[in-house]
Amino acid sequence: MAAVRELENKEVEEGDLIMNSFVLTFLYYIAAIAIVVLGLAIFEMMTKKYKDWNEIKERNVAVALSIGGKVIGICIIITFSILHNDTIRETIIWGLFGMVLQLAAYILFELFTKNFSVEEELKKGNLAVGIISFSVSVGLAFVIGASIS
């Protein structure tokens, strides 16, 4: 982490600045992948009625939409975090916080749909539920991202 801080705070010449930009971009890329993978692993553990990747293998588009929304949602939050923070550390913290809020949104979505189980409908391949799940994740990601300072 000290090396990252040094890269971020170091006064550099133009050629060094270009190289540091590549290094920082790579570090943000690694951080984003780690946060997305962690988020997907947690979502997978939360899903009790099916396994996400098994459903995708079976061409369940509803589940694919739901997972895609989570990936895009987390990435939107990370994008806002990169734009509004000065360090990779702050970006990671905001990214993780955003991921937790996405998890909460998923739980609330399940709780607020009293007429049916979101998980069961996704497992059945209900595209309407998949699209709403996608939309909840992406829509809330913009709200979460816009609030990052």
The predicted model scores a pTM of 0.83
47 versus 3: which is more confidently predicted? 47
Residue 87's SS3 state is coil
Per-residue confidence (pLDDT) for residue 86, from 0 to 100: 82
- The DSSP code for 12 is -
Cβ contacts of 70 within 8 Å, gap of 6 or more: 39, 40, 43, 102, 106, 137
Q: 105 pLDDT band (50/70/90 cuts)?
A: very high
Task: Give the tens place of pLDDT for each residue, 33-64.
Answer: 999 999 999 999 999 999 999 999 999 999 99
- pLDDT-derived band at 6 (thresholds 50, 70, 90) equals low
What values do phi and psi take at 14, rounded to 5?
-55, -45
Please write the tens of the pLDDT for every residue from 7-22: 555 555 555 656 688 8
Please check the confidence at residue 4 and state whether its pLDDT lies above 60.
no
Where are the extended beta strands (E) located within the chain? none
pLDDT, residue 11, reads 53
